[in-house]
Amino acid sequence: MIIHKSLNSIIFKNYLKIIFGFFILFSQALKASENIYIGYASSLHNAMKEIVNDYKKQSDVKLKFGMGASGNIAQQIMRDAPYDIFISANKKWINYLDEHHKIKERQPWISNSLSMIGSMKSIEDLTLNDNERFCLADPKNAPLGLYSLEVINALNLNIPDNQIIFLKDAASLQYYLSIDECDYAITYLSNILNLEKNIDVQSLPLNLYSDITYEIGILKLNKGTKDFVNYLQQPSVLRKLKNHGFIIDR
């Protein structure tokens, strides 16, 4: 009888070890397959592709991303799109989500500047011929559009409505520039540096538009999201962003 109890005890202990082992393996599998969904402003896309690929080499976390106009992504989040991190090209859309209690943590990140595209003697004297087109990011959802309108109003530029091509975001505007669909445009310096062609460019004075601040919002606060946001602040990442034309404030 004593031997029988000892045998049962040994079997039970081994059974617990097996269950515990399966639990550890299952937990590790879940950790290895952890996903982080990032939504970011389309003007970041070329740089973010490099950053995400580099991060994948040193982490088991699977990074997935969506890009577009900051306003469009913010509205997707309001409709419960499963983003964990949101990077906006202005504070407006981070503030919007913060007001609706979607943001757990937030921090400013990098900056940008604007340039005018097109052949002109001076920006103040810009006049379009009847067949010329002015490309403008849609100010309803794209921060680039809002910054561009500030420039247009500050310089009191007269651009006929029927000669404006409204584009959904900075990436769309960059594409239209690349295929010569725009005679004139206002865009980010970072977009110009990624164009594989020569174009006429004039830098726009910083006092014509609001400070361009990219801000990071963490929507789901956990180790994975905090680690990636910390990675975005690393000197090697900031140098990469600077090479893409972004302004690093530190």
pLDDT tens-digit profile of 147-191? 999 999 999 999 999 999 999 999 999 999 999 999 999 999 999
pLDDT at 121: 79
| Adjacent-strand bridge partners of 21 | none
pLDDT at 32: 42
Instruction: Give the tens place of pLDDT for each residue, 104-152.
Output: 999 999 999 999 999 887 888 888 999 999 999 999 999 999 999 999 9
Instruction: Give the tens place of pLDDT for each residue, 189-212.
Output: 999 887 767 788 999 999 999 999
Farthest-apart Cα atoms in the chain, separation: 104
pLDDT at 154: 96
121 versus 213: the higher-pLDDT residue is: 213
Q: E strands, the chain, where?
A: 35-41, 62-68, 85-88, 105-111, 114-117, 134-137, 164-167, 184-188, 201-203, 213-218
